[in-house]
Amino acid sequence: MFKFCIVRIKNFILPLMFLAFTLCLIVFSKSNLFAAKNGLALFANSVIPSLFPFFVATELLSYTNITKILGKFFNRFMKPLFNVRGEGSFALIMGILSGYPVGAKIVCDLRKNNICSKEECERLLSFTNNSGPLFIIATVGVSLFGSSAIGFLLLITHILSSLTVGFLFRFWKYNKTSSNVSLSTNSSSLKTKVSFSKLGEIISNSINNSISTLLTIGGFVVLFSVIISIIQNSNILSFVEVFIPSKFTSPLILGLLEITNGISLVTAIPVKKLSITIIMVAFLLGFGGFSVLLQVWSIVSKSDLSLKPYFLGKCFQACFAAFYTYIFIYVFPFFNFNL
């Protein structure tokens, strides 16, 4: 009887959550409208300019033999370190250079085109989807902290934590035999090769695919802007602070939901030791937020890959990023921003 009641309750959880969300949209309609507009502005002014060129570039590169070239060069590093064939280096490099969620999209493309096995792609998924250097150095370092040195510190620890997670996840499904893949013979991996005669078609397809992915991301940006607005106006965070009394509680919770707003709130907290704020920001950058998690989920759901290694990888990366940042600040005098 007890087990039956639990099953019944689980069946009603999502409908009740969606009903509560709908009611909150009505109750806080004024603030939600303002939040939605801000989300759209953020999407139009920041997300599209930063991600759209990278999406198009990666789509165009997929029509070339760049993955094969990188595979031959980086196989000597990728295989022993991450237990992934060299072609996975394309996802790692672009994931670091371009930011969320380009790395996850490339990994799914590698699986879709049968370039890497399911197990290899899940290992890649755990560590190749990262925050970009432009966001970490310019937005977080210069704009929020007022220091490019802090931005570079956060970028270094972010990349180090990512590579550490990749090394740990080399053991993911280690004993499971990888499915056979082919770079040239498998029909699912064949795409129209780029040439001047087909350049217009290839560019058109790349733009259409990029726009489709961007619209999904934009939807999540607006949705989480509204969710954060509801949380702030419903005094839910005040209730949480009763049990966890700290000035970092609300910013951390919001940062776990959506990285940009959360980091902005964390850096605005007055503290005696700046290192505490930097370490917390490193943690949030490593995790990426549930907004990015759902963006990745929307991409991964179109493949046979599991989201589990990504989520676990982000949890580990957040902890490693905070730990490495602590070590850098207290071991290397150059990064001791408490002085």
pLDDT tens-digit map of 118-147: 999 999 999 999 988 888 988 888 888 888
pLDDT at 338: 64
pLDDT at 193: 63
Omega cis (within 30) before 101: yes
Q: In this structure, is residue 122 part of a structural domain?
A: yes
Q: Taking the alpha carbons of 329, 288, 97, 119 in that order, is the dihedral positive or negative? A: positive
Range of the domain at 71: 51-173+192-335
pLDDT at 187: 38
Q: In this structure, is residue 141 part of a structural domain?
A: yes
Q: In this structure, is residue 35 part of a structural domain?
A: no
Whether the pLDDT of residue 6 is over 70: the answer is no
pLDDT at 184: 46
pLDDT in tens, 272-317: 788 889 999 999 999 998 989 988 998 898 888 999 999 999 999 9
Cα distances (angstroms) measured from residue 234 to each of 24, 28, 31, 245, 250: 9, 8, 11, 18, 13
Q: Are 246 and 253 in contact (CB under 8 A)?
A: no
Mean pLDDT of all residues in 233-238: 80
Helix (H) or strand (E) holding 28: none
Name the domain count of the chain: 1
Whether the pLDDT of residue 196 is over 80: the answer is no
Q: In this structure, is residue 46 part of a structural domain?
A: no
pTM, rounded to two decimals: 0.84
Q: In this structure, is residue 40 part of a structural domain?
A: no
Q: In this structure, is residue 19 part of a structural domain?
A: no
Identify which of 285, 296, 287 has the alpha carbon closest to the alpha carbon of residue 220: 296
pLDDT at 245: 66
pLDDT at 189: 44
pLDDT at 15: 83
The pLDDT confidence band at residue 153, using thresholds 50, 70 and 90, is very high
Distance CA 299, CA 316 (A): 21
